[in-house]
Chains A and B, each alone.
Chain A
Amino acid sequence: MKLFFAPQTRAVSSRWALEELAVPHELVQLKFPEELVHPELRAANPLGQVPTLVDGDQVVTESSAIALYLADRFPAAGLAPAQDRRHEYYQWAFFVGAAMEPHLLEYFLQTVRFSEAERDSARAASAKEKFERVLQIVNHHLADRQYLLGDQFSMVDVILGSLLGWASMLKLLDGFEHVGAYYKRIYSRPAFQKAAA
């Protein structure tokens, strides 16, 4: 199994998933974004995205898809619920990508990535407000739970946790008590420490 990886990108999530499952794998370390033209990566995924996972003749892209794929491919670790009880599991997997990440990305572009001349402070402020509104929903959910699905860590915690790492770097978690406690809980996991090293 081979993971095309770059530090401090969405690929951390996939590396974390592999470490949680203790799956032997080869890591192809690329510099983001200039090394995404790597020929073997382009052959597997012409969009040149990290993460891209190659497992035999199976190519998997999209960090959330890779996480769910790995949880099902290595079921002994118990990181996915039984097949008939996956309502919350799938909901959170989609919620992170659809409801949270677009606002975080916009805020990142408008405050960090773009040159100062290209930045639009109104768009940054609006993205921050929208992100915080959604984060409040997560904060409320975590008030009486250790993990997204309750008492047990699962693969959707890898998906949310990876996004929170990014949000934390942008100082967007301040004031969200339960999210903050959750973030500390999952970031102390050895698998995360190894993936983010």
Chain B
Amino acid sequence: MMKLYYSKQSRATRPRWVMEELGLEYEIVPMNLQAGDQRKPEFKELNPLGQIPVLQDHERVICESGAICLYLADRYRPGTMAPALDQRGDYYRFCFYVYNTLEHQLIEIFLHTRFLPEDQRKPERVAQAKELLQARLQIIADHLATREFIADGRFTTADVLVGSALDWAHMQGLLGGFPSLVGYVEKLKKRPAYQRAHETEVAHS
């Protein structure tokens, strides 16, 4: 059975959501990040960066949450969660947009408002990140103004990735000017697979 090295409230919920959508059986390996499970040598054998999630699918080991999601969508029940290979413009565009353009600002804001010790937080970096974030959220809002989902006219893995990033932005109170994006996130959160991936938390993770 596939194993997902997992911690709740992390990017590990993204591949878990995809696996739930696909109806796959998997085992959760709970990782206690506070206790430093991710720095143990046996975990670094799987991912030298010491980051979750990691998926073990028989002899295959895959790191990077976005990569795991795209892999699962192509490997299992192909076509269910991903467009045909020659129709992947919006799909790839927004999957990478989440990681390489949108989330840099979300991380910067999170670090300097919540994560870092108070004396290391820089309000000017938060202000700058929030300004950049507006234009970057607007791109998604414009794209969804004429579409119900990100790609292919239906729910795909791109919605899992965009929806998860927006869900996080919403939790940080950053979707204030974008009611349509709040509506999109709320719609995705009603999906049974989302709820199974998020509500059934795992002890000690």
Asked if residues B63 and A61 are in contact (CB atoms below 8 Å), the reply is no
Q: Quick one: CB contact mask for A79-116 with B, threshold 8 Å, 1 for yes?
A: 00001101110110111011101100000000000000
Nearest chain B CB to A156's CB is how many angstroms away? Answer: 11
Q: What's the Cα separation between A194 and B68 when bound, in Å?
A: 34
What distance in Å separates the Cβ of B48 from its nearest Cβ neighbour in chain A? 5
CA distance A150 to B71 in the complex (A): 18
Look across to chain A and name the residue whose beta carbon is closest to the beta carbon of B104: A102
Contact segment of A29-37, A63-71, A183-191: A63-71
- Distance (whole angstroms) from the CB of B88 to the closest CB of chain A: 5
Produce 1/0 per residue, A128-153, CB < 8 A to B: 00000010010010000000000000
Q: Is there a chain A Cβ closer than 8 Å to B172's Cβ?
A: no
A171 at the interface (CB under 8 A from B): no
> Is the CB–CB distance between B92 and A60 below 8 Å?
yes
Residue picked from B49, B64, B85, B86, most chain A C-beta under 10 Å: B64
Q: List A contacts of B64 (CB < 8 A).
A: 90-91, 94-95, 98-99
Enumerate A1-46 residues with CB–CB distance to B below 8 Å: 45-46
A62 and B74 contact, CB distance less than 8 A: no
Select the residue from A55, A73, A93, A101 with max chain B CB neighbours within 10 A: A93
Count contacts between A and B, CB distance < 8 Å. 104
Q: How far is it, in angstroms, between the C-alpha of A140 and the C-alpha of B48 when the chains are bound?
A: 11
Q: Which residues of A contact B97 (CB under 8 A)?
A: 61-62, 65
Given A64-B100, A97-B100, A134-B49, verify A73-B86 contact (CB < 8 Å). yes
- Do residues B67 and A75 form an inter-chain contact, with CB atoms below 8 A? no
CB contact between B136 and one of A47, A65, A87, A97 (< 8 Å): that residue = A47
A101 pairs with B85, CB closer than 8 A: no
* Smallest beta-carbon distance A43→chain B, Å: 12
Do A62 and B92 touch across chains, with their CB atoms under 8 A apart? yes
Q: Name the CB-closest residue of A to B89.
A: A58
- Would B78 and A84 count as touching, CB distance under 8 A? yes
Across the interface, which residues of A come within 8 angstroms of B74, CB to CB? 83-84, 86
In the complex, which residues of chain A have a beta carbon less than 8 angstroms from the beta carbon of B68? 90
- Contact of A69 with B48 in the complex, beta carbons under 8 Å: no
A90 near B96: Cβ-Cβ < 8 Å:
no
Check B139 for interface membership: any CB of A closer than 8 A.
Answer: yes
**A58 contacts B85, C-beta separation under 8 Å:** no
- Nearest opposing residue in chain A for B79, CB measure: A83
B139 A101 Cβ-Cβ under 8 A: no
Tell whether A59 is near chain B: CB-to-CB under 8 Å: yes
Name the distance in Å between A58's Cβ and chain B's nearest Cβ.
4
Interface members, chain B 38-91 (any A CB < 8 Å): 48-49, 57, 60-64, 66-68, 70-71, 74-75, 78, 85-86, 88-90
Docked Cα-Cα span, A61 to B89, in Å, equals 9
Q: Are B75 and A84 in contact (CB under 8 A)?
A: yes
Measured CB to CB, the closest approach of chain B to A130, in angstroms, equals: 11
Binding site for B on A (CB under 8 A): 45-47, 55, 58-62, 64-66, 68-69, 72-73, 75, 83-84, 86-88, 90-91, 93-95, 97-99, 101-102, 134, 137, 140
- 12 extra interchain contacts, Cβ-Cβ under 8 A, other than A65-B95, A91-B71? A58-B90, A59-B93, A65-B93, A68-B88, A69-B93, A72-B85, A72-B86, A73-B88, A83-B85, A90-B62, A91-B67, A98-B100
